[in-house]
Amino acid sequence: MNAIAMKRAARDPTLESPSAPVARVDDPAAFRAMVLEHAPHLRRLVRSLGVPEPDLDDVSQEVFIVAHRRLQTFEGRSALRTWLCGIAVRVASDFRAKGYRRREQPTDNPPAEAQNADQELALERKRAWLLIEGLLGELSQEQREVFVLYELGELSMPEVARALECPQPTAYSRLYAAREQIERRMAQLRLTERTP
């Protein structure tokens, strides 16, 4: 496919030449390195966008497949990371829209980290996800995407806006709205905790 992209770029001067990542992905080892580098945060991202745990591998894998296909049209105008985040948001939202679920139920193989990680840490992680997923579930889709990309995704707000293809002021107002909503919810939770 990248051969096509290159041929096309060669005969079509209006197109940008394929940028560096194309070469990187053509090389299996480099592609692997790219996956290893970006998979952790993309996986976190799709999970916090509402993809359930058992589907995470499939969905993250699809993010990379889509990225690989679209690399020929990636113009290097944003950082690879920002661009991948944008794809992850689209794939995750596609996933939810389709209501797609795995057919096999992966119950017999507990995740590797649960086996060796120390129990306390695993528990803390589980609690954290439970809380955050609950909070995020009350946000609108748009607010959730901005919030997750900024608060967990390590992108700057201009990058968030680029990944989501929305104007920067919109991204900021969504972020602030999301924060307000989450703070309100946290305050309620504190209240209910103190009054048993």
Structure-derived torsion over alpha carbons of residues 154, 77, 145, 190, reported in degrees to the nearest 10: 30
For the CB of residue 66, give the shortest distance to another protein in the complex, in Å.
6
Distance CA 162, CA 108 (A): 41
Which residue, 23 or 189, is less far from another protein as judged by CB? 189
Which residue, 125 or 140, is less far from another protein as judged by CB? 125
For the CB of residue 140, give the shortest distance to another protein in the complex, in Å.
18
For the CB of residue 72, give the shortest distance to another protein in the complex, in Å.
8
For the CB of residue 76, give the shortest distance to another protein in the complex, in Å.
10
Distance CA 115, CA 6 (A): 46
CA angle 94, 51, 69 (to 5 degrees): 45
Distance CA 3, CA 193 (A): 60
Which residue, 140 or 176, is less far from another protein as judged by CB? 176
In a 3-state reduction of DSSP, which class is residue 100?
A: coil
Which residue, 140 or 168, is less far from another protein as judged by CB? 168
